[in-house]
């Protein structure tokens, strides 16, 4: 009798361990995504001193990676289809490595911007390619849990970046401190590249390239949805044919206006909360509230930990609690926390008392927890549900583009408007979240437990 020890019950020997291994390795793209986007938070003051940057140019410097992210996210699809998801992940790993080493060794501001842009290309590519690869190697009954590993790794990568920055700050290395912070990323990037060698090609891509026997071998090892490899291959062929027909369908047409508006608005509100500005400038915000350098870094680690815990909690209940309820909870939490932060800056300016600093810390923890249970957990699930099959890929690309475009805009402008008034900055974000609350209550549909076809009917799409 076959034994299947230490593996998922996928119906065959050793399928579980290799499937889990391949998933975890692919999800390292997400971990580096989180690390790369958050690591700059510990370097902003050093960058400002080293390159003598005004608030405008500091914002541009932080946003430079996000410009790469926009391009990476909207262009990665074609290379992934032509060369395969696995080879695309190799390129992404190399981009992370080049960005980490180049940013650490940058000889002037322009070279630093270039290498951060390269890292942004990797982040944008990973945001698409890592979950795509995992979804295509996973049997349906494990797909949700396995793809969620990418989301876990993104948030874990943010926490690792905050913790790494804190440890490096404790070493008191002086002017090279910021270079070490960026250089650390080269280690997981190199590991990501090396570990990918054991990953197979995606069976879906192999079928698309008519490499049927290779696809059959992967499906035999990783399992199928219905127990039959031949039936699975035929289903993949039918799905590919359907997608080819759908490529001619135009997204920007009157009949898709409702899902387009839902996608654009949820992505805009995601960034109008100020989440990326806060994540990128978190130590700076703590210092504005009177914290010392080491204390600011330690508090940042605490925020990263809350983000991780609450994200995992939200992902575990999203299918039971519902997308709309999570967004309601998150919206109320946003409004309370952002309004409190705005009031603190109006009350204390730059002269915070100890009590004021503690209230600031608690408010930022509530803010990040609210994001994790609301927008952080819901946005990518919601974007994948509201578009019909024929235009789903194009619709998700539109939502992703809007998200990263707004992230760049908010991150660029934050230093300038915060320099004028921290109170007005956070009051603006709070007002935007009041608008989000009304949008959630009166406009956002609940998609929990609703088939994709029924969602389409709900939105009046024939």
pLDDT tens readout for residues 132-150: 788 777 776 666 677 777 7
pTM of full prediction above 0.75: yes
DSSP collapsed to 3 states, 411-457:
HHHHHHHHHHCHHHHHHHHHHHHHHHHHHHHHCCCCCCCCCHHHHHH
Which of these, 342, 316, 415, 330, lies nearest to 366 by C-alpha position? Answer: 330
> How far is it, in rounded angstroms, from Cα 93 to Cα 29?
7
Query: Alpha helices of 51-202 — where are they, by DSSP H?
Result: 55-75, 77-83, 85-105, 109-137, 140-170, 177-183, 186-195
Phi and psi at residue 450, in whole multiples of 5°?
A: -105, 130
Kindly report the number of other CB atoms within 10 A of residue 209's CB atom: 15
Cβ(105)–Cβ(131) below 8 Å: no
**Domains of the chain: residue spans and CATH:** 13-199 (1.20.1250.20), 253-462 (1.20.1250.20)
pLDDT tens readout for residues 162-190: 999 999 988 888 889 999 999 999 999 99
Which residue has 């230093």 as its token pair? Answer: 415
Least confident interval from 29-38, 224-233, 418-427: 224-233
State the pLDDT at residue 286. Answer: 82
pLDDT band at residue 452, thresholds of 50, 70 and 90?
low
């Amino acid at each position: 009798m076959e034994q299947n020890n230490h593996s998922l019950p996928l119906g065959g020997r050793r399928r579980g361990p290799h499937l889990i291994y391949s998933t975890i390795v692919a999800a390292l793209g997400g971990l580096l995504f989180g690390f790369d986007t958050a690591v700059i938070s510990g370097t902003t003051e050093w960058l400002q001193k080293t390159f003598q940057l005004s608030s405008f140019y500091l914002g541009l410097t932080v946003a430079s990676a996000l410009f790469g992210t926009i391009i990476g996210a909207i262009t990665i699809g074609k290379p992934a289809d032509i060369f395969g998801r696995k080879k695309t992940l190799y390129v992404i790993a190399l981009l992370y490595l080049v960005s980490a080493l180049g940013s650490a060794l940058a000889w002037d501001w322009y070279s630093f911007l270039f290498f951060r842009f390269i890292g942004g290309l990797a982040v944008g590519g990973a945001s698409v390619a890592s979950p795509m690869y995992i979804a295509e190697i996973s049997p349906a009954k494990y797909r949700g849990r396995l793809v969620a590993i990418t989301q876990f790794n993104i948030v874990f990568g943010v926490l690792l970046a905050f913790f790494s920055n804190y440890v490096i700050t404790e070493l008191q290395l002086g002017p090279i401190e910021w270079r070490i912070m960026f250089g650390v990323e080269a280690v997981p990037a190199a590991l990501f590249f090396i570990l990918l060698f054991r990953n197979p090609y995606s069976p879906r891509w192999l079928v698309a390239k008519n490499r049927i026997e290779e696809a059959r071998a992967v499906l035999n090892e990783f399992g199928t949805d219905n127990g039959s490899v031949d039936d699975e291959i035929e289903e993949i062929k039918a799905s590919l044919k359907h997608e080819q027909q759908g490529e001619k369908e135009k997204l920007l047409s009157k009949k898709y206006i409702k899902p387009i508006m839902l996608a654009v608005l949820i992505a805009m509100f995601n960034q109008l909360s100020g989440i990326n500005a806060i994540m990128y400038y978190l130590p700076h915000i703590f210092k504005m509230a009177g914290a010392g350098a080491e204390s600011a870094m330690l508090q940042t680690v605490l925020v990263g930990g809350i983000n991780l815990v609450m994200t995992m909690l939200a992902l575990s209940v999203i299918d039971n609690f519902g997308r709309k309820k999570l967004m309601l909870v998150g919206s109320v939490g946003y409004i309370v926390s952002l309004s409190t932060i705005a009031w603190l800056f109006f009350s204390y300016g730059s002269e915070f008392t100890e009590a004021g600093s503690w209230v600031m810390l608690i408010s930022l923890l509530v803010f990040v927890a609210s994001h994790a249970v609301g927008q952080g957990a819901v946005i990518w699930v919601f974007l994948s549900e509201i578009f019909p099959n024929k235009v789903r890929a194009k619709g998700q690309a539109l939502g992703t583009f809007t998200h990263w475009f707004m992230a760049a805009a908010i991150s660029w402008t934050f230093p300038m408007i915060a320099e004028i008034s921290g109170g007005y900055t956070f009051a603006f974000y709070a007002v935007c979240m009041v608008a989000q609350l009304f949008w959630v209550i009166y406009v956002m549909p609940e998609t929990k437990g609703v088939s994709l076809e029924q969602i389409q009917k709900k939105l009046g799409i024939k």
